[in-house]
Structure 1
Amino acid sequence: MNAVHEHITDAIKQPDLVRLTDNVILARFETMKVYAALGAVRTLLDRGVVRAGQTLVDSSSGIYALALAMACHRYGLKCHIVASTTVDSAMRAQLEVLGATVDQMPPSQSLRLDQERRVHRVTQLLAQRPDVHWMRQYHDSVHYEGYKHFAELITRALGDGPLTVVGAVGTGASTGGLIEPLRRADPSVRLLGLQPFGSVTFGSEGFTDPEAIIAGIGSSIWFDNVRHHLYDRLHWVDFRHAMAGAVGLLRDHAVFAGLSTGAAYLVAGWEAARNPDRTHVVIGADTGHRYVERVFARHSEALDVESLEPLEITSLDNLAMPWSAMEWHRRAWPVVQQEEQAS
């Protein structure tokens, strides 16, 4: 018998686990960052850092915004979102009905410009309203807390056996918050991170993806919540490859998911075929609704997933579009300085 939930956040925070192939399992979320927002807000309230009725503010490209607004709704807090240009009208309407104040950045094809505008606006708000608490999803490790429950779910469902987690790096909290508790039980669990070209997080800031911003995968600004030493391997994918994965996932498995999930599906398929002894868990962060016009309406243009393969590199100096892959070996950042010291 299904449980009766006291709030919608309890109903949607857990993913559905869907077997795509013998050794690829999709953890499909409606909005994954409910885990992060609930865990963070609950912890801050317990610590006395924030109080009921206070306003929480943060910057978001979409799914964290909705998760934070829902957490505020649950715990009696006010919410102010500085939204990316990628936040669509459906998402904005939900935020506003939930009572959130929404500051949205103007249209931009530049990941860097969009994020710089958001950071500037948050800084303005904090100067004007000292009572506002900045959630700092990019920097405050409190966002790791909620994903411990995700790790418990994975462990119960999959049991023992070689495991690889595949997910977008983004803020670092979802992949990091999942892998740390998993590795406490089994240090051999591997983590494969995804990055877009143009992100500073793993050294691709010198590239520009001319087609689109891939929200939630990388960043043009530094994120303290990314713990580089947790990652075993990295894949960098451009918009066209992420689009191929998203369309392929819908076509092959009837799963309607966003671009970060599409990129993870593409990467997991490649990796799973070469590591058949390992179960690969794909983190499916959100649904595909906000990508209808930019991705799914153009499905006839999508590349065939089976025809794609990465360039295998051994140094960031060899990084190249449209898809590169590299063993990271759980190294800290900056890797270049470490290599120089070792030599």
Structure 2
Amino acid sequence: MIDAHVADAVGRPDLVRLADDLLCLRFETMKVLSADAAVRHLLDTGAVAPGDTLVDSSSGIYATALALACHRHGLRCHIVGSTTVDESARVQLELLGATLERMPRSTDLKLDQSRRVARIHALLEAEPRLHWMRQYHDEVHYLGYRAVAATIRAALGPTPVTLVGGVGSGASTGGLARYLRETGDVRLVGVQPFGSVTFGSDGVEDPDILIAGIGSSIPFGNVSHEAYDVIHWTGFGVALSGSVALLREHAVFAGLSAGAAYLAAGWEREPGRTTVFVAADTGHRYVDAVFSRHAEALPLSRLAPHEDRLALPWSRRVWAGAPAPPPAAWRDLDTRNAGSSTRTRRSWR
């Protein structure tokens, strides 16, 4: 196979068998698929045209993904970046032709996210021709995961699947589960950090949080709460232990959210089902903050979640398709990009 653009190679995942009933869906950069499919759809439907500028907020991974898609399709890209955007991402964005506007440094995740959203709105007021990609709220970002779901189903056949991964914007695990459920039995297990509003853990603070990318301090329109069967909340320490164990036991060098998903996947394995967990990115960004601290990792056999009680370092709750908790319910009054999405617009409530 010869790829037409590096985005194809970077976005294509690998299925790695770790045990008879446990697989890792390993990405180099997961959101490349999502961003590329979304941009293709927008171009095909005439919502944007070559030369237009696409804008969005990002803590790093989506920024690079959108910049790659814009590079491929002849579009301009502007990123309103989190304080967590690192130097490696900044240089890549610059060389790909994207512009980065980084928010002032802050240790407050909610303040960082709210600043980014406010800045996006200010940019749109100043230049209405900008197209806001709305990675957190536009279901067009689900489209890129259809082919991945088909790959998983082709590899596994009709076996029942338990899919485990970070919730984040809602498009990745939500999209994979949606398309997998078209062809078979799927349990969806979402992974969240403490402090995230999405599934109601915003009242529990994790002082060492470094896995904000799988949670949020503001409501996300792309999260379909009703799709999730179980939710796990993991603190930094247990996620670190999961990441270190994943590398030691299986040689998979992946990010902190992958460690959290590996931990949860081990707990959710059951006879008659194949468990697939998502490793959304590689571990390179976490060498100093996580892997260099491997001596702190606890054996996973010593860890167990609190059941139906939100408390550090790890909690689990059967969600059973319940609706969004009130603080996470989404109501969207911005119709600026109406028509670009495959979803009926929702709103704050």
Is the TM-score greater than 0.5? yes
Decide which of 215, 220, 236 is 1:218's aligned counterpart.
Answer: 215
Distance 2:91 2:247 in 1: 26
Match of 2:318 in 1: 327
User: Which of residues 178, 185, 190 is equivalent to 2:187?
Assistant: 190
Show the counterpart of 2:124. Answer: 126
**What residue number does 1:288 align with?**
283
Answer yes or no: is the 8 Å Cα contact 1:110–1:213 preserved in 2.
no
1:216 is displaced (CA, Å) by: 1.6
SS of equivalent residue, structure 2 residue 212: coil
Cα distance per residue 1:210-269 (max 9 Å; x no partner): 012313210000000000000011101111111111111111111111111110011111
- Consecutive unaligned residues in structure 2, runs of 5 or more: 328-349
Query: How many angstroms apart in 1 are the aligned matches of 2:325 and 2:114?
Result: 22
Runs of 4+ aligned residues of structure 1 deviating over 3 Å after TM superposition are none
- Cα distance, 1:54 vs. partner? 0.5
Whole-angstrom CA distance in 1 between matches of 2:108 and 2:20 = 39
For structure 1, which segment, 109-118 or 88-97, has the greater mean C-alpha deviation from structure 2 after superposition? 109-118
CA distance in 2, matches of 1:184, 1:151: 10
Indicate the SS of the match to 2:177: helix
* Alpha-carbon distance between aligned partners in 2 of 1:307 and 1:243, rounded to the nearest angstrom: 14
Query: Residue 104 of structure 1 corresponds to which residue in structure 2?
Result: 102
- 1:191 is paired with a residue whose SS is strand
- Give the conservation status (yes or no) of the 8 Å contact 2:54–2:75: yes
Which amino acid in the other structure matches residue 121 of structure 2? T
Counterparts of 1:181 and 1:127, CA distance in 2: 36
* Structure 2 CA distance for partners of 1:309 and 1:60, relative to 1, 3 Å: same
Are the aligned partners of 1:233 and 1:325 in contact in 2 as well (CA < 8 Å)? Answer: yes
1:212 aligned counterpart, secondary structure = coil
Partner residue, 1:300: 295
1:335 Cα offset (Å): 7.9
Query: Distance in 1 between the 2:126 and 2:259 partners?
Result: 40
Q: Tell me the TM-score normalized by structure 2.
A: 0.91
Q: Deviations over 1:284-309 (max 9, x none)?
A: 10011111111112111222222111
Deviations 1:301-334 (A, max 9, x none): 2222221110111xxxx32121110111112223
Q: How far is the alpha carbon of 1:105 from its aligned partner?
A: 2.1
Does the CA-based 8 Å contact 1:109-1:213 persist in structure 2? no
CA distance in 2, matches of 1:158, 1:279: 8
Query: Equivalent residue for 1:13?
Result: 11
Paired AA for residue 254 in structure 1? A
Q: What displacement does 1:35 show?
A: 1.2
CA shift, 1:87, in A, is 1.5
Q: What is the alpha-carbon distance in structure 2 between the residues aligned to residue 195 and residue 205 of structure 1?
A: 11
**Matched residue of 2:192: which SS?**
strand
Distance 2:89 2:55 in 1: 17
* Amino acid aligned to 1:222: P
Q: Mapping of 1:43-58 within 5 angstroms?
A: 43-58=41-56
Indicate the SS of the match to 1:184. Answer: coil
- Alpha-carbon shift at residue 145 of structure 1 (Å): 0.9
- Partner residue of 2:257 out of 257, 260, 281: 260
Partner of 1:107: helix, strand, or coil? coil
C-alpha separation in 2, matches of 1:4 and 1:281: 28
Counting matched residue pairs gives: 327
Contact 1:86–1:215 (CA under 8 A) maintained in structure 2: no
1:153 paired to 2:148: no
**Residues in 1 aligned to 2:123 and 2:166: alpha-carbon distance in whole angstroms:** 29
For the 8 Å contact 2:196–2:202, the answer to whether it is kept is: yes
Instruction: Quote the sequence identity (%).
Output: 60
Q: Among residues 196, 200, 211, which one is paired with 2:197 in the alignment? A: 200
**Match of 1:339?**
none
Root mean square deviation of aligned Cα: 1.3
Q: Distance in 2 between matches of 1:334 and 1:114?
A: 22
The answer as to 2:13 corresponding to 1:22 is no
| The one of 23, 39, 42 aligned to 2:40 | 42
Match of residue 248, structure 2, among 247, 251, 258: 251
Which residue identity lines up with residue 80 of structure 1 in the other structure?
A: H
The residue matched to 2:213 in structure 1 has which SS?
coil
8 A Cα contact 2:168 2:214, kept in partner: yes
SS at match of 2:214: coil
